[in-house]
Amino acid sequence: MSFNPKSVLWFAAVASILCFSPFAPSQEEIEGLNRSIQLKDDEVYGDGDKVYWNEKEELVILEGNAFIRYQNVELSADKIWFDFRENLIRARGNVNLRIDEEQTFSQELIFDVKSKVGKVLDGVAYSPPWFYSGRRIYKVSEKESLVEGGRITSCSLKHPHFWFEASRIIVKVDQELIAKHVILKIGGVPMLYLPVYRRDLRKEKRARVIVKLGMDSYQGYFMHVIYPLKRSKRIHAALFYEYTSRRGMGEGFEANYNVNDVRLRDIFIKLPKDASRIEAKKAEDRAKEVLDRLRGDYDRFHLKRIFIRYDITEADIENAKEKAERIREEAISKKTNFSKLAGQYSDDMSTKYMGGDLGYLIKGEGKLSPEVEKIVFSLKPGEISDVIRVEDGFEIYKVEDILERYGLHEVRVRRIRVEIRPSEERMKSAQARAKEAHKELEEGKPFDEVARRFSQLHPDMGWVGLNEMDSRIRYRIRRLKRGGWTDPIQLDDGVYIFKLIEREPTPTFEELARQFSEGKEAERGGDLGYRGGWELSREVRRVAYATTAREPGMVLDEGDVSRVIRARDGFHIIKLEDRRFFSGRIFLFTGDIYSYGRKKTYKTGRRWDFMFNHRQIISTPWDSRWDQRGLILLAKASLGRRSLIGGYGTPSSELRTMASLTWTTLLGERFAREVRSRLLARLTLDKTFELVEGERSYAVQELPELYLSWSGGKMYNLPLFKQINDALKEAVNRIKSERFPILTLPTLDNT
């Protein structure tokens, strides 16, 4: 295809613009153009200190800091010619061509923007991780380059200390690199010749066989060949072979493993893409609700009640209204601080000690009734509302601040609430009747019978969610056993006695995951299985693997549930089901034994070596990451055999084994100085077997060792030592005198 000039984005001059086009842009359009502007597939952006446009020839010339961008191609140079008719670009002087991650630098370039084919003279190109240069570089296709008479290196220095020279180099971006007639030069000195060299450039591709060649004074010339069997985050295993001119040859197997996994269940609340603040808040509130359900805050209870109402008179209502009017008058006329008045007079216990602060509110959130919300959002900053009658009292509002952000209108509000209270006599009368009813219940009379005589509401409440109850009674309801009842509870409208008939069990994590989670694991009850740290998001990993925190509950032990975790894609609640940590090394080798000389060496025998190291944290019921309490197993075993020839020694075989169990814990501040003290106990077993051919083998057994350590502790707070220390301090006080001030006794405080 050829370009239609009218489908091309304007060419804007940075310093001055010479634009000969029938569709010249306006000044506003020019100011909106820049090198990072979003382009459509058929649009081109270009700029320069000078821009010449030949409409007849369909040619653009850019001079001075010239730049062109089309699709994934970016080109900068001192001067650029762009022929729209032939789809050709020619550039000269400080040329830099970028196609995706591949960059080419030269003094001259010819390039076809349609086919992505071109030619570079005396250029240098970079395609991670290789730098290559040559007399001529041809762009054969968008993803393939051909270099003639070039050299290649992975060193980023201007004058690299090593490089490969080749007659021809083919580079296929993200696929492979092939070079013919290759000479390795180090410091300019030829070191190695290869007729052909190939390197896989796929990012996830690893070498199947690793070969190392070299020479040193001890091994002489050497060659190491490694054949990887397994390469992953948890295990690296490989077979290897080595040959040396002075130490013979050998082969073996080596494996290193490191498993540090957690088994999690996850409840995931998805955050919509490009979510607004309100959408994010709704998602967070939903996640918090799920966490509250896990904690039992939404459990449902079948209750019965005895209710004795406080009698409210018109005089009580008038008294509350007059009190509210006086508070408002004091806030306006005396200009008394509103938050101070809220702390002094407000009956809203949830905000009283915060100066009545309700925070920033958004219209329609539902935190205020529609009638009150209409009044509050009509106020200006610093303005105080009239006294507003609500169901159980009177309220006064003040708008502290109005914030406009993210397209939302937010209002910061303070509130003073004055409740309508009955007279003292009527309250005492209701309390006395409630005590009488409670006494009859304690005497064994049926609850329904007592309720019929005392209660002013129907006794059967049906099923009620804990979240629907007054916060002042939730704790008592939770503690009730089936068939039990509470003591008389005084609330704003009267005195209650509740009886628990039945309660629904708190939902399990698995049940809530199936009900609320939006993750793929919801059907499995949120079970993620065992995951390594690299398989989790950064925010989840930080909580799941936390080992220290400022306070208990911030690190997870088995069975614990996290707080709500905010991540980029949404909100997570995780439950730690299990941990597994073990690491170690397995090594097997057989090889020649040579003399220790540097120049003349000779073979003296053969060796076989086997080594096994293992470390594991063993889960126990008393594990605690906050107290850093855990049991650690360390096991080692090594088997060595030496078979000597020619009378150079006696063959030998030895098996060494060692195992230790270490238990550690942090003690409380009571037994520590400045930081919590640590208690450590370790049991060690060690045994060596001498295996002699044709003779009776024997073993060397070291006695089991038990090691105890207590660091950072205060011994004088232990029960026995505390008594000793108290006696020493009493003796010190007795012998103190002004005549002999230096006469004293040591105590455990200063020893």
d(CA 14, CA 18): 11
Amino acid in position 410 = E
Higher pLDDT, 462 or 598: 462
pLDDT of residue 695: 56
Q: What is the mean pLDDT of residues 475-499?
A: 92
Q: Which residues contact 298 (CB under 8 A, 6 or more apart)?
A: 289, 292, 465, 466, 467
Q: What is the mean pLDDT of residues 507-514?
A: 94
Q: Which residues contact 652 (CB under 8 A, 6 or more apart)?
A: 640, 641, 642, 690, 692
d(CA 669, CA 717): 10
pLDDT of residue 717: 61
Beta strand extents in 310-422 (DSSP E only):
357-362, 388-390, 393-405, 408-419
Is residue 532 predicted with pLDDT exceeding 90?
yes
d(CA 669, CA 604): 62
pLDDT of residue 21: 36
pLDDT of residue 383: 92
pLDDT of residue 120: 81
Q: What is the mean pLDDT of residues 676-693?
A: 83
pLDDT of residue 9: 40
Do residues 11 and 60 touch, judged by C-beta distance below 8 A?
yes
Cα 161–chain centre separation: 41
Is residue 673 predicted with pLDDT exceeding 60?
no
Q: What is the pLDDT of residues 372-430, one digit of tens each?
A: 999 999 999 999 999 999 988 999 999 999 887 666 788 999 999 998 888 888 889 99
Give 553's pLDDT tier (boundaries 50, 70, 90).
low
For the chain, the average pLDDT equals 83
Give the Cα-Cα-Cα angle 43, 45, 49 (nearest 5 degrees). 160
Give 258's pLDDT tier (boundaries 50, 70, 90).
very high
Is residue 98 predicted with pLDDT exceeding 70?
yes
Is residue 450 predicted with pLDDT exceeding 90?
yes
How many percent of the chain have pLDDT more than 70? 86
Do residues 416 and 354 touch, judged by C-beta distance below 8 A?
no
Backbone angles phi, psi at 35, to 5 degrees: -70, -15
Would you state the structure tokens that stand for residue 195, as one six-digit string?
A: 């007729």
Q: What is the pLDDT of residues 589-624, one digit of tens each?
A: 999 999 887 778 888 899 999 999 999 998 887 777
pLDDT of residue 565: 93
Would you state the structure tokens that stand for residue 467, as one six-digit string?
A: 């979240």
Between strands 393-405 and 102-112, the pairing is: unpaired
Give 227's pLDDT tier (boundaries 50, 70, 90).
very high
Between strands 130-141 and 678-691, the pairing is: unpaired
Cis ω before 129 (30° cut-off from 0): yes
d(CA 79, CA 113): 17
Give 220's pLDDT tier (boundaries 50, 70, 90).
confident
